[in-house]
Structure 1
Amino acid sequence: MVVTSTVPAELSPALGSALDLAGRTVVITGANSGIGAAVALGLGRMGMNVVGVARRTDKLEAVGLAAKEQGSTFLAVGADVTDEDQLAAAMDRTVETFGGIDCVVANAGIAAVQPALDMPAEDFRSVLDVNISGVFLTARTAARRMTGGGTMVLTSSSFAKRGFNDWAPYNASKAAVSMLAQTLTQEWVAKGIRVNAIAPTATLTDVNRALFENPDFSAGVVAGIPSGRIMQTEELVLPVAFLLSPRNQMMIGQTLFVDGGQAL
């Protein structure tokens, strides 16, 4: 697998410095593809030390190679976000390598798309396990090691506010992620840890590309987005950086909708 960075060149260490992110260390789950890979490359270009975490290490290594080619610092660590021991090992390796954890992007997620009456219970539980338990465990294992405080962004979705047919477990899990951000930040803000969520609209990735190449499916999705188009993964880099920035001390427990107006 070859990863080509499409991250705008404007995302420079100077911008990272302006946001007080350059030189800091960020752990990103689900960094092997899609939104996670784009955010990893973008934050790396802004001068952050990026630790990419994913189960599929072959794809993760490809993202790491793209990061190296653009001059960024990237450490690939294999881990399943539903396994707390594996996550703990990933966080410990991050601390050993970079001296600490400043930021976290809990991005790993999956979907099962099927009418609710037909969906196997096992598929429903699997989505909740990754999208809710995985996010919670990622946040908690990192928080235990963020002794000097830090910031977190949890990946929610515009679907958290406006449910869509056949996406029951995904819709429910993303709504839960937004509430999780509110709850965790209330518990941890006194420790200097701020937690927010980001809620993107339908975003073009390698995983869903075949779906969006279906004109009927694509037209149906775009019809519900006032901006009139599907989002590109690199468009999420700056919103995530904004939420991670230590300069936003009063922004806590919020869900930032980056959705072209879909949730209005």
Structure 2
Amino acid sequence: MTTLIDPALRSTLGQALGLTGRTIVVTGANSGIGQALALGLVELGANVLGVARRAEGLAAVAEQAGPSFAYAIADVTDEAAVEAAMDRAVETFGGLHGVVANAGIAVVQPALDVSADDFRSVVDTNINGVFITARSGARRMTEGGSIVLTSSSFARRGFPDWSSYNASKAAVSMLAETLAVEWASRGVRVNAIGPTATLTPVNEALFADPGFTASVVAGIPAGRILDARELILPTAFLLSPLNEMVLGQTLMVDGGQTL
């Protein structure tokens, strides 16, 4: 994967943001947004522990990223597995300074038809899994750190057929606010990132439909969907230890969709 970070600028950017040598855990790192963030943060000089339910994508990231990337297999709804992954990050790289709680799923179906089990599954991954990940990371940030939760522009708009996803992402933004207030005294900052519709391998089939794509783009003033790589620098900004007064915010990277 080619990132947006010019090779000539990587070292300078990483140092300016204070990310060089810091250890960051990224969940959902085997594909899509999580993979882009994991690779981008490595390029900025961070050590990254990628987490996902399957090893295939993680192994490919490890091959590309080199020794600054390690990985662990875990379902974010399994607290014991997440705890073990956090321990692996500390053991491998000597500490923990940041967490990107990115793993999430979506069920796209009319609210009258979506099953209770499917709705519950989205909530379990997108809210409970994010909470488990954030709390597990915070427990190991003995010298403070930064946590970024992946919310969405859909948290602020009632898009039809996305009831479970929209509700879960709105909850993620509020979770960021609540944890930010609760953990500020520990030196642990919590914020969220709010991407608009983003092209990833998971949703390629959706965006292959010109009608669907046009309907989405119509609501984005910038006139296009987001490339996952465009989230690297906004996320790095939130992870930076230089931003001590940025707390509980959802940084929208949405081309103006929520304006």
Q: TM-score range by the shorter chain?
A: over 0.9
| 1:227 alignment partner, SS class | coil
Contact preservation (8 Å) 1:5, 1:66:
no
Output the CA distance in 2 between the equivalents of 1:18 and 1:142.
24
Identity across aligned pairs (percent)?
Answer: 66
* Match status 1:232 vs 2:227: yes
- Deviations 1:191-237, CA, capped at 9 Å, x for gaps: 00000000000000011111111100000000010000011011000
Cα shift at 1:41: 0.5
Does residue 1:203 correspond to 2:198, yes or no?
Answer: yes
Instruction: Specify the alignment match of 1:40 in structure 2.
Output: 38
- TM-score, normalised relative to structure 2: 0.98
Structure 1 CA distance for aligned equivalents of residues 10 and 104 of structure 2: 28
Q: Which residue of 1 aligns with 2:97?
A: 102
Tell me the residue number matched to 1:16: 14
Find the aligned partners of 2:31 and 2:13 in 1 and give their Cα distance.
Answer: 24
TM-fit CA distance, 1:6: 3.4
Aligned partners of 1:32, 1:163: CA distance in 2, in Å? 29
Aligned equivalent of 2:246: 251
**Deviation beyond 4 Å, 4+ runs, structure 1:** none
Alignment equivalent of 1:139, drawn from 123, 134, 139: 134
Q: What corresponds to 1:220 in structure 2?
A: 215
Letter in 2 for 1:187: E
Q: Does 1:6 align with 2:12?
A: no
Equivalent pairs counted in the alignment come to 258
Q: Residue in 2 aligned with 1:30?
A: 28
Match of 1:152 among 147, 152, 163: 147
| Aligned-partner residue type, residue 134 of structure 1 | G
| Residue identity matched to 1:5 | T
- Tell me the TM-score normalised to structure 1 length: 0.96
| Structure 1 unpaired stretches of 5+ | none
Query: Per-residue deviation at 1:51?
Result: 0.5
Choose which of 135, 160, 169 in structure 2 pairs with 1:174.
Answer: 169
- The aligned counterpart of 1:85 is 80
8 Å contact kept, 1:201–1:262: yes
2:68 corresponding residue in structure 1 = 73
User: Secondary structure of the residue that 2:137 maps to in structure 1?
Assistant: helix
Q: Secondary structure at the match of 1:144?
A: helix
Q: What is the one-letter code of the residue matched to 1:9?
A: D
- Consecutive unaligned residues of structure 2, counting only runs of 5 or more, are none
Distance in 2, matches of 1:90 and 1:142, equals 10
Q: Distance in 1 between matches of 2:71 and 2:38?
A: 11
Displacement after TM superposition at 1:63 (Å)? 1.3
Are the equivalent residues in 2 in contact too, given 1:5–1:41 (CA < 8 A)?
no
Give the distance between the partners of 1:62 and 1:163, measured in 2 at CA.
36
2:236 is matched with 241
Per-residue CA distance 1:32-51 (angstroms, 9 max, x = gap) = 00000001110100000010
Q: CA RMSD in A?
A: 0.9
